[in-house]
């Protein structure tokens, strides 16, 4: 789906108290930024922020970080947060390809919601459930490695199941018609159009 460019998006999101402008400075020190020892969960590809904001409101004893590569989608998240005071949420405008520059053995769970499927074989390494990315995630987790994924793309779902298993993850739960209590903007559109939602939850000890 083509991203809509928003004029001055970088300036708009930079003015938000939720945006961390230099996330590399907090590598290994995110608990100090949140000022507590609560679990830290991240969403890679947070888009317009509906899911990560919903999670942070529902679970005040868990810290959440939304990571989005492009600044335009984050404008929506920033606007949603204008009149809300949430102490357990931060946003990062950052390319997940370099995620190891930002976190070090401090993450408890990763959410991958409706990631780009990169359907062409030559683009396999760009898929967020490829071995290349799973190897990056290995260095992020504090203890057990927990990943939750949702996708409308059936091929990415099947690919991810195989990739998780090949890389040592135990598949705890799968569902090809998943209904979540907290949804993303894409998810709402897919459900409205009758598209099934695929779900995977995996753990690696």
Please name the fold of domain 25-204: Rossmann fold (3.40.50)
State how far the Cα of 87 lies from the Cα of 53, in Å rounded to an integer: 11
Please report the pLDDT score of residue 135 as a whole number: 98
Q: Residue 1 — pLDDT band, cuts 50, 70, 90?
A: very low
- The kind and range of the H/E element at 10 are helix 9-14
Q: Which of 119, 128, 143 is CA-nearest to residue 41?
A: 143
Asked whether the predicted pLDDT for residue 157 surpasses 50, the reply is yes
Model pTM score: 0.95
Average pLDDT over residues 85-101: 97
Asked whether the predicted pLDDT for residue 185 surpasses 80, the reply is yes
Dihedral (Cα; 104, 107, 112, 116), 10-degree rounding: -10
State how far the Cα of 42 lies from the Cα of 50, in Å rounded to an integer: 14
Provide the token pair at 110.
């990763």
- pLDDT digit string (tens) for 33-63? 999 999 999 999 999 999 999 999 999 999 9
Average pLDDT over residues 66-70: 96
Catalytic residue numbers, as ranges = 116
């Amino acid at each position: 789906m083509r991203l809509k460019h928003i004029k001055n998006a970088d300036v708009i999101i930079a003015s938000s108290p939720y945006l961390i402008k230099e996330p590399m400075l907090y590598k290994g020190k995110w608990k100090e930024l949140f000022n507590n020892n609560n679990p830290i969960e991240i969403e890679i590809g947070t888009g317009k922020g509906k899911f990560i904001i919903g999670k942070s409101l529902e679970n005040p004893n868990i810290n959440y970080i939304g990571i989005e590569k492009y600044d335009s989608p984050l404008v929506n998240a920033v606007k949603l947060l204008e009149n809300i005071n949430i102490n357990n949420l931060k946003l990062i405008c950052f390319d997940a390809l370099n995620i190891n520059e930002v976190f070090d053995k401090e993450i408890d769970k990763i959410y991958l919601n409706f990631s780009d499927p990169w359907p062409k074989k030559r683009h396999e390494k760009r898929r967020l459930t490829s071995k290349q990315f799973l190897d990056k995630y290995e260095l992020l987790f504090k203890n057990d490695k927990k990943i939750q994924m949702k996708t409308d793309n059936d091929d990415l779902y099947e690919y991810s199941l195989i990739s998780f298993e090949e890389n040592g993850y135990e598949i705890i739960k799968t569902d090809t018609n998943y209904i979540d209590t907290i949804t993303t903007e894409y998810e709402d559109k897919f459900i409205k159009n009758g598209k099934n939602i695929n779900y995977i939850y995996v753990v690696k000890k």
